[in-house]
């Protein structure tokens, strides 16, 4: 089993930000309203994620590291959700097989439990006083797979992946307070009060957030809303346009193009706005699983959606300029 975990780890755990992603998704799935991430050396030295979610009892804590031991797939009636889970109970087992882990957790009813693991093996387990929620620290990632270490880029690149991830999750979950700390320095902090403008200010700065105008619109099958910068605040990359379909971050070339088209002649050449766009529609219209890892999405009634996006953004920008 240890070997198959290590093989699976190669697929799940590509770099520090893949670990951050899995731990954050677990914290979100556990119903947390506050999640803090502490990275040392972009996560190569350690990754700590602290949440105030459901926590686990002793049995669940031990089970969580065995392969396919997901607590989520039992609710099999929700096929759509199961398909979005990605690694189906393999994440923690895979991460544990290539790192050292310290887990503290409590469900708030039983006393807490502390678990230490090394390369996938439990080396210590003891009761501990702990509030409801989970605190997991993954250190010395890839300590037993030196080949993997060689593929990693610079600290700055690896950190960039985790920052992008946190930004996306914060925009997608404005009801959750997120905090990202790197080598003792706070890089992102949101208040979890559901205010998208506060999240935008935390990510892009108060000054830029003030230059973003709200937009919204509705068609037969879709509802859209979000914020878009005035044409005076632009970026050289399209990556500052973040799209969410029913709360999930996605990439969609034509929707990005519809946003850019909405600015018509106002945008300087090769410059792009900062935008957050939330698309809501019947889940059956939005197949987010064309390729889960690449976040590509296939949308039905695409022309209807594209013109809705373009129109909503265009009206807001025109209204703000004139």
- The residues of the shown chain that bind ligand ADP, judged by CB under 6 A, are 22, 26-27, 30, 51, 53-56, 60, 64, 69-72, 85, 87-92, 134
Helices 253-262 and 302-321 pack at an angle, to 10 degrees, of 30
Distances (CA, A) of 149 to 38, 45, 154, 159: 20, 12, 11, 15
C-beta of 10 vs 89, nearer to Mg ion: 89
CB of 287 to ligand ADP, least distance (A): 20
Q: Which of 5, 26, 50, 234 binds Mg ion (CB under 5 A)?
A: 26
- Choose the stretch contacting Mg ion; rule: CB under 5 A; options: 60-68, 86-94, 181-189, 314-322: 86-94
**What is the greatest pairwise CA distance in the chain?**
66
CB of 226 to Mg ion, least distance (A): 28
Alpha-helical runs (H) found in the chain: 2-12, 16-29, 58-63, 79-84, 91-97, 146-150, 155-172, 196-204, 206-210, 253-262, 302-321
- Take residue 155 and report the two structure tokens written for it: 């600290």
- Using CB under 5 A as the binding criterion, the count of chain residues that bind Mg ion stands at 2
List the single partner that 42 binds among ligand ADP, Mg ion, none, CB under 5 to 8 Å by kind: none
CB of 266 to Mg ion, least distance (A): 43
C-beta of 91 vs 241, nearer to Mg ion: 91
Among 298, 259, 279, CA closest to 217 = 279
C-beta of 293 vs 321, nearer to Mg ion: 293
CB of 29 to Mg ion, least distance (A): 7
H-helix or E-strand spanning residue 137: strand 133-139
Are the C-beta atoms of 143 and 168 separated by less than 8 Å? no
C-beta of 91 vs 305, nearer to Mg ion: 91
List the single partner that 256 binds among Mg ion, ligand ADP, none, CB under 5 to 8 Å by kind: none
Classify the C-alpha dihedral 313-205-195-295 as positive or negative.
positive
Residue 32 interacts with Mg ion (CB under 5 A)? no
Residue 91 interacts with Mg ion (CB under 5 A)? yes
The contact set with Mg ion (CB under 5 A) reads: 26, 91
């Amino acid at each position: 089993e240890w070997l198959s975990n290590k093989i699976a780890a190669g697929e799940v755990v590509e770099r520090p930000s893949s670990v951050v992603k899995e731990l954050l998704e677990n914290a979100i799935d556990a119903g947390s309203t506050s999640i803090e991430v502490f990275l040392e050396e972009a996560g190569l030295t350690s990754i700590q994620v602290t949440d105030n979610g459901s926590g686990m009892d002793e049995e669940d804590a031990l089970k969580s590291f065995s392969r396919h031991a997901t607590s989520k797939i039992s609710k099999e009636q929700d096929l759509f959700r199961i398909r979005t889970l990605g690694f189906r109970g393999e994440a923690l087992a895979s991460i544990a097989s290539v790192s050292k882990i310290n887990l503290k957790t409590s469900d708030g009813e039983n006393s807490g439990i502390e678990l230490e693991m090394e390369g996938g093996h439990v080396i210590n387990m003891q009761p501990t006083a702990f509030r409801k929620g989970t605190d997991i620290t993954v250190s010395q990632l890839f300590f037993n797979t030196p080949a993997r270490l060689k593929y990693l880029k610079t600290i700055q690149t690896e950190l960039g992946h985790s920052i992008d991830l946190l930004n996306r999750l914060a925009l997608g979950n404005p009801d959750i307070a997120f905090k990202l700390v790197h080598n003792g320095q706070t890089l992102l902090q949101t208040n979890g009060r559901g205010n998208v403008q506060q999240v935008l200010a935390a990510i892009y700065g108060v000054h830029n957030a003030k230059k973003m105008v709200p937009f919204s619109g509705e068609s037969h099958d879709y509802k859209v809303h979000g914020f878009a910068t005035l044409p005076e605040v632009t970026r050289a990359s399209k990556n500052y346009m973040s799209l969410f379909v029913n709360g999930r971050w996605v990439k969609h070339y034509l929707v990005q193009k519809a946003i850019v088209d909405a600015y018509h002649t106002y945008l300087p050449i090769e410059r792009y706005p900062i935008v957050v766009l939330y698309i809501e529609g019947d889940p059956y219209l939005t197949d987010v699983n064309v390729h889960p890892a690449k976040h590509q999405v296939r949308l039905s009634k695409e022309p209807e959606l594209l013109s809705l996006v373009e129109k909503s953004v265009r009206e807001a920008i025109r209204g703000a300029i004139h």
